[in-house]
Amino acid sequence: MSLVMPKKHRRMLTCFFLLVPLWTGASHAATAATEDEVRAAFLFQLAQYVNWPADAGRPANAALRFCVLGQDQLTATLEPTVRKKLIQGRAVSVRRVAEHSQFSECDLAFIGFQSEKQVKATLAAAHFPGVLIVGEMEHFAQMGGMVNLVIRSGRVAFEINTAAAEKEHLEFRSQLLRFARLVGTDREGRR
């Protein structure tokens, strides 16, 4: 039995998940996307396949808050990527944060540190219900991050730690999970 997917979803998933180089049409000639453009497109597409818990303190149609920790250039690239676009009927706002304690003001937080020590310290200290923690480093998801973005030779892949997401009351849609490499916490059960 074959699975039939609406054309709209096939087109979106093809662009996002087939792990082909991304192209941008900023000018009439197609040019290869920068890694920050790939990251920005990934974060926008990823958020469309996440179910966030209701927040009693915010209206249901409040903007989704994307935060970036440690990468100023990504913030600048992400803003035009999400401008005037909706995710699940909600606008998207982007801001840079200076420290992980500000994650409570976010719905999606991208950690852009290069040091494994910094990432481990941030993940160990972070407990923010309803905040999707995304990173880009080897073993990020195994350390307790929820989504790890992997860009190699212009191709995009990603890992998801569903246990870490569930702990913070987040759910991934099955369409997303089919294309992810699912990972867990380390053997000692640490985040």
- The single-letter DSSP state of residue 73 is H
What is the residue extent of each domain of the chain?
35-182
Write the DSSP string, 122-189: HHHH---TT-EEEE-STTTTTTT-SEEEEEETTEEEEEE-HHHHHHTT-EE-HHHHTTSEE----TT-
pTM above 0.85, yes or no: no
Under CATH, which number does the domain 35-182 receive? 3.40.50
Determine the pLDDT at residue 56: 67
What are the average pLDDT values for consecutive 10-residue runs of the chain, which has 191 residues?
41 42 38 83 97 85 94 92 96 95 94 85 85 94 94 84 94 95 64 42
- The single-letter DSSP state of residue 4 is -
Q: Which amino acid is at 134?
A: V
